[in-house]
Amino acid sequence: MKTRSSTPPALKSEMAIPAGTGTPFDDDKLREECGVFGIFGHQDAAAHTALGLHALQHRGQESAGIVSYDGNRFNTHRNLGLVGDIFSSQKVMDSLVGKSAIGHVRYSTTGETLVRNVQPLFAEFAFGGLAIAHNGNLTNALTLRRELVNRGSIFHSTTDSEVLIHMISTSWANTVTNRIVDALQGVEGAYSLVGMTENALYGVRDPLGVRPLVMGKIDDAIILASETCALDIIGADYVRDVEPGELVIIDDNGIQSIRPFAAAKSRLCVFEYIYFARPDSVVDGTNVYEARKRIGAQLAIESPVDADIVVPVPDSGNPAAMGYAEQSGIPFELGIIRNHYVGRTFIEPTDSIRHLGVKLKHNANRAYIEGKKVILVDDSIVRGTTSTKIVEMVRAAGAAEVHMRIASPPTLHSCHYGVDTPDSDKLVAANLDLEELRKHIGVESLAYISMDGLYRAMGQEAGRDPAAPHYCDACFSGEYPISLSDLDSGAGTAQLSLLAEQNG
C-alpha cells in the first residue's frame, strides 16, 4: 500500500505567479475556457502532460498547470502564460516526479485575481490528496458555494473546481469514488473534469456531454484529454470518448466505468465543430476539419454569390472557406495572411490601441485581392469588431466587391457552459438585423448558415429536429439544455459574473 507524506502541506512547490501576461488583442471570437489532460501509469507522466497541454493550447492561453503524484507526495507547477514557457525549464519538469499527472490550460482575464484560480487545484481531505482540473461551468456553483460557506467552508479561489473539492471533502460517503459521485450528483452544468488521488485518475463528463473528453493509451498508461490532438502529440492511441454522464476510474486494477446520472440525450457543444476544437481532432467520432468543410459547402448551397475568389478569415475560417470553394467551384485563395507571432502582449491592451490588433494579426494579400469580387468566409461574428476591420482591409487592398459568409448561425445568446461570451448587448447579431449588420460591416452581401443547414452539414438530413437535438446550440437558439439555476435565482449578479469570468 502506498503511503502519504507525513508533512503537510503535500505541495512540493507553489511558485509565485506574475500578473500581466496574456493575450491582449480581442480577435472577436468566443473563447473556449479550458483544456484538461490526465495520465495514469507512465514514467514520463509530467512530460506527456506538458506535451498534451501544448496540443490543447488553443483551448486556453492564459495559464497552465500540472500536478503529479510520485507515490509519496503531490508535486505542482502552475503559472500564467503559455505552456511552452511555463514548462520549458528542465528543473521544473524534474520537479514533477511521478507516474500519474493531470494538467490544465485556461483562458481567463489577466490580473492578480487569476493567481489563485490557476488549475489544477489541489487539496488535502480525509482520504488524502486530491487534484482537480475542469473544463466547463457549473450553473449552480454560486448556490452551492453559498451553502458551503454557510456550513463553514473557506474558499481559496473562485473556481467551480473548488466548489467540487469542498463537496467531495464534506460528503459523508465511505470511499473517494462514492464521495465524487455524491458531489457530482449535487452539481448542475456543463463540464469535463479530470481528478487525481494517490491511487487513481478520474475523468467525468456532465450528463449531456456538452464538453468533450476522450480516452487514449500509450504503452500501459491510460490518458484522458479534452481532444484527440493531445493524444496524437505523444503518439498515444485513441481508445474512445468518455461517454456523456460517465465517470471513469483508472487505477492499478484497470478502468472502471460508473454512471452516476440518469440516462439523457447527448448535447455536445456544436461550437466545438464550428470553432473551438482543433481541426485535426476527432470529436465524438467526427473529424473537425471535415465537419467544417461540410459546413462551408452547405453555406455555398444556401447562399451562393457570383464572385472571383473565396478567401478565409484565417485560421479559423480556412476549412469552411475550402468547403465553400469546392462546392461553388470558385477558386480558394489565401487573400488574407495571418501573423502567427502576435499571441502575447508587448504593449498593454488598452482600448485606444486594441483595434490595432486586427492589423497586427492580419494583412490583405493585395496581389490576389485587387480588382476581385471577394467572398470572405469566417466561422462566426461575435462583436463584429474584427469583421469590420477585415472588410476595411480587404477594400483598402482594392477588392471590387466584398461578400461575407458566416459558417455558423447568428450568435444571439450568451453561453453559460464554460465559454467566455459577451453579454447579449455586445453580441452584434442580437442587436442588429441582417441588413443593419451588413451595412455595419460594410459588405455587398452578408449571409449566415441556417440552423437547419448546420445540422444537415453535421449529418442530420432533416435539419434541426427539436424533438431529437444532438447538440447544444443555445448561443444560436437560446434553448439552454441545462438549467441555469444561479442565473434564474437572480441572486448575486455581480458575484455571478465574477465567477463566470474566472472559471475555466
Residues taking part in catalysis: 34
C-alpha cell recorded at residue 303: 447562399
- CA 170, 173, 176 angle in degrees (round to 5)? 85
- Between 330 and 427, CB nearer to ligand SF4: 427
Tally of CB atoms within 10 A around 16: 6
* Window 91-120: residues binding ligand SF4 (CB under 6 A): none
Instruction: Identify the residue among 474, 496, 499, 500 touching ligand SF4 (CB under 6 A).
Output: 474
Q: Looking at this protein, which amino acid is placed at residue 419?
A: V
- Between 277 and 402, CB nearer to ligand SF4: 277
Q: Which residues contact 33 (CB under 8 A, 6 or more apart)?
A: 59, 60, 106, 107, 108, 135, 137, 418, 419, 420, 503, 504
Continuous segment of H or E residues that includes residue 95: helix 90-95
- Work out whether 236 is an interface residue with ligand SF4 (CB under 6 A): no
- Between 359 and 383, CB nearer to ligand SF4: 383
Radius of gyration over every alpha carbon of the chain, rounded to an integer in angstroms: 23
- Work out whether 472 is an interface residue with ligand SF4 (CB under 6 A): yes
- Between 78 and 464, CB nearer to ligand SF4: 464
- Between 358 and 475, CB nearer to ligand SF4: 475
Phi, psi for residue 436 in degrees, rounded to 5? -65, -40
Local structure of 88: helix, strand or coil = coil
Instruction: Identify the residue among 163, 269, 300, 391 touching ligand SF4 (CB under 6 A).
Output: 269
Instruction: Identify the residue among 132, 270, 429, 441 touching ligand SF4 (CB under 6 A).
Output: 270
- Build a one-symbol-per-residue string for 169-198: x at contacts with ligand SF4 by CB under 6 A, - elsewhere: ---------------------x--------
Tally of CB atoms within 10 A around 17: 18
- Work out whether 210 is an interface residue with ligand SF4 (CB under 6 A): yes
Tell me the closest approach of the beta carbon of residue 135 to ligand SF4, in angstroms: 11
Binding range to ligand SF4, per CB under 6 A, among 44-52, 56-64, 263-271, 430-438: 263-271
- Build a one-symbol-per-residue string for 18-57: x at contacts with ligand SF4 by CB under 6 A, - elsewhere: ------------x---------------------------
Tell me the closest approach of the beta carbon of residue 477 to ligand SF4, in angstroms: 9
Note whether 335 and 485 are within 8 A (CB): no
Tell me the closest approach of the beta carbon of residue 422 to ligand SF4, in angstroms: 12
- Between 375 and 415, CB nearer to ligand SF4: 415
Binding range to ligand SF4, per CB under 6 A, among 142-150, 225-233, 441-449, 466-474: 466-474
- Between 33 and 333, CB nearer to ligand SF4: 33
* Window 404-463: residues binding ligand SF4 (CB under 6 A): 415, 417, 419
Residue 300: half-sphere exposure toward Cβ, Cα within 13 Å: 27
- Between 30 and 250, CB nearer to ligand SF4: 30
Tell me the closest approach of the beta carbon of residue 270 to ligand SF4, in angstroms: 5
Local structure of 196: helix, strand or coil = strand
Tell me the closest approach of the beta carbon of residue 275 to ligand SF4, in angstroms: 9
Distance CA 80, CA 106 (A): 9
DSSP letter at 118 equals: P
Instruction: Identify the residue among 45, 475, 499, 500 touching ligand SF4 (CB under 6 A).
Output: 475
Note whether 57 and 105 are within 8 A (CB): yes
Is the dihedral angle over the CA atoms 427, 433, 436, 437 positive or is it negative?
Answer: positive
| Sheet-wide strand order for 401-406 | 309-312, 373-378, 401-406, 445-448
Note whether 193 and 134 are within 8 A (CB): yes
Q: Which residues contact 253 (CB under 8 A, 6 or more apart)?
A: none
Q: Which residues contact 449 (CB under 8 A, 6 or more apart)?
A: 295, 298, 299, 302, 303, 406, 407, 408, 409, 457
Q: How many residues bind ligand SF4 (CB under 6 A)?
A: 13
Tell me the closest approach of the beta carbon of residue 122 to ligand SF4, in angstroms: 27
- Between 144 and 415, CB nearer to ligand SF4: 415
Tell me the closest approach of the beta carbon of residue 121 to ligand SF4, in angstroms: 23
Is the dihedral angle over the CA atoms 232, 24, 212, 248 positive or is it negative?
Answer: positive
Binding range to ligand SF4, per CB under 6 A, among 286-294, 362-370, 399-407, 467-475: 467-475
Tell me the closest approach of the beta carbon of residue 480 to ligand SF4, in angstroms: 7
Residue 471: half-sphere exposure toward Cβ, Cα within 13 Å: 24
Q: Contact residues for ligand SF4 (CB under 6 A)? A: 30, 190, 210, 269-271, 415, 417, 419, 472-475
